[in-house]
Amino acid sequence: MELTIEQPCPTCGAVVSLSEDDRLIRCEFCDVENYKIQHSISRYSLPAKIPPHISNSDIFYVPYLRFKGCIYYCQGEHLRHKLIDTTRIGANIDQFPVSLGLRPQAMRLLPVTRQLPGQYIRQNVKAQKIFAEAARLTSLFNTDRTNTITHRAFIGETISRIYFPVYTHNGSLFDGVNNYEIGSSAAAKQLISNVIAFSSEWEPRFLSTICPKCGDSMNGSAGTLVMNCENCETQWYEDGGRFKAVEYRVMPALYEKAKYIPFWCLEPEVDGCRLESLADFLKLTNQPVVAQEYHYRKKLSFIVPAFKVNPTIYLNTAKNLTILQSAFENTITQRLTNIYPVTLEHKEAVQSLKSVLAASALSYRLVRGVMESMTFNVETTKLIYLPFRNAGHDLIEHHTGMSIPAAALRFGRSL
């Protein structure tokens, strides 16, 4: 489920509601757009309802780590995947609930800023442990108890820190949301001994949506990672607090009113296995295709979705487009309108390559022997926009006839 954040507009200060994955903030009051810089871990707080007799110095914010994403893993002769959405306490403090349950989804969260009164508790549980906890959840619901997991990848994951407000009163510890007593004086002492100072780096930061090249206004949807400038036909992504240009190409549309959907085009250098040409890929995965001369000349590219979508559709789409990549030779650069947003980072797309390879094989046994020793190194990435026509329930790619369920794109925005 999505988290809802009440974020002050960086320009006028009016309250704007957005989801945790939103990057482009459009204020209804001042009509100004700002792009949210992506922190390594975003910080939010449950809204506190502290009694009037409690001082701000008695309020403490306990960190919880939230993991949301999809886990792909190979086990036995199968490629499996699970969608996980969980929270775990990020501090080793007794008498506290392990999880926040449904509270983050049911309440409107607040961004952590210097205006939020109280003290913060140190996180002493590493974020990597949340990955391990999420991985254990996949084993909990898995019926295969005999085969070991040989490959695991986290794709499209979101990790955020959610602070749980508590307060001390008369030596006891109270829930700052519903004011129930949750701990004794021993837990209160643990809190006080783990207090850390607030850091300005925790606060959300924003960029102007002015094109760095021509100075015109860029556009995009709320959850996009890539901004589009129609004036100078460039695209930009945020990296290290500034916009950087991203290379992109477009397949010309064959019909009017095309919807352009983005895909990452990745050309990896592969160690541990011969996988240089498209012919190598077809042979390794045992595709029912006779390798032609142009398959040997064609350097292998993986073409994978640049957007979050159901795992099954993600793998099928990546497999089909990678096999059919010869159809996308005649790309051009053109002004883009009616585009679907980029919502999956290229780094995560690279992490999915082993899973795509396993899904492409007619039998996982064909690639299992090389999967563990194989590594992918991708130095350069680019986007390729493919034209799709709306056929009602499906979107159909113009050049190959490959389809994507329209509902999958709508539901993918909340993954």
pLDDT tens, position by position, 24-82: 998 889 989 999 998 778 999 999 999 988 888 789 999 998 888 888 877 766 777 88
For residue 55, the model assigns a pLDDT of 86
**Is residue 406 scored above 60 in pLDDT?**
yes
Task: Please indicate, yes or no, if residue 163 is contained in any of the structural domains.
Answer: yes
Q: Give the whole-angstrom CA distance, residue 206 versus residue 220.
A: 15
For residue 90, the model assigns a pLDDT of 87
- 258, 193: one domain: no
**Where is average pLDDT lowest: 101-115, 130-144, 248-262, 388-402?**
130-144
**Reported confidence tier of residue 209, pLDDT bands at 50, 70, 90:** very high
- 54, 198: one domain: yes
- 292, 390: one domain: yes
For residue 398, the model assigns a pLDDT of 96
- Answer whether 261's CB lies under 8 Å from 289's CB: no
Residues 6+ apart with CB under 8 A from 151: 72, 73, 74, 354, 355, 358, 371, 372
pLDDT tens, position by position, 92-151: 877 788 889 889 989 999 999 998 989 999 988 777 766 666 666 555 445 555 666 667
Boundary residue ending a domain (145, 167, 202): 202
- 309, 383: one domain: yes
Q: Name which residue leads in pLDDT, 190 or 26.
A: 26
- 198, 342: one domain: no
- 342, 262: one domain: yes
If residue 65 lies in a helix (H) or strand (E), which one and from where to where? Answer: strand 59-75
Q: Give the whole-angstrom CA distance, residue 395 versus residue 112.
A: 40
Mean pLDDT of the region 301-322: 94
- Six token digits for residue 373: 């020793």
**Is residue 185 scored above 90 in pLDDT?**
no
Q: Name which residue leads in pLDDT, 68 or 277.
A: 277
Q: Give the whole-angstrom CA distance, residue 3 versus residue 104.
A: 6
Boundary residue ending a domain (202, 230, 265): 202
Task: Please indicate, yes or no, if residue 342 is contained in any of the structural domains.
Answer: yes
- 52, 189: one domain: yes
**Reported confidence tier of residue 349, pLDDT bands at 50, 70, 90:** very high
DSSP symbols for 79-124: EEEEEEEEEEE-S--TT--S--TTHHHHSEEEE--TTS-SEEEPP-
Domain count, the chain: 2
Mean pLDDT of the region 80-95: 82
Mean pLDDT of the residues in the chain: 87
Boundary residue ending a domain (172, 202, 232): 202
Best mean pLDDT range from 7-11, 83-87, 89-93, 302-306? 302-306
Structural domain harbouring 374: 247-412
- 56, 129: one domain: yes
Task: Please indicate, yes or no, if residue 217 is contained in any of the structural domains.
Answer: no
For residue 71, the model assigns a pLDDT of 81
For residue 140, the model assigns a pLDDT of 47
Task: Please indicate, yes or no, if residue 218 is contained in any of the structural domains.
Answer: no
For residue 148, the model assigns a pLDDT of 66
Task: Please indicate, yes or no, if residue 8 is contained in any of the structural domains.
Answer: no
Within 10 angstroms of residue 240's Cβ, the number of other Cβ atoms is: 7
Task: Please indicate, yes or no, if residue 27 is contained in any of the structural domains.
Answer: no
- 313, 165: one domain: no
Mean pLDDT of the region 178-204: 83
- 71, 149: one domain: yes
Task: Please indicate, yes or no, if residue 284 is contained in any of the structural domains.
Answer: yes
For residue 279, the model assigns a pLDDT of 94
For residue 142, the model assigns a pLDDT of 57
For residue 266, the model assigns a pLDDT of 95
Task: Please indicate, yes or no, if residue 225 is contained in any of the structural domains.
Answer: no
pTM for the model: 0.89
- 261, 397: one domain: yes
Helices (H) and strands (E) in the chain, counts: 10, 25
- 150, 262: one domain: no
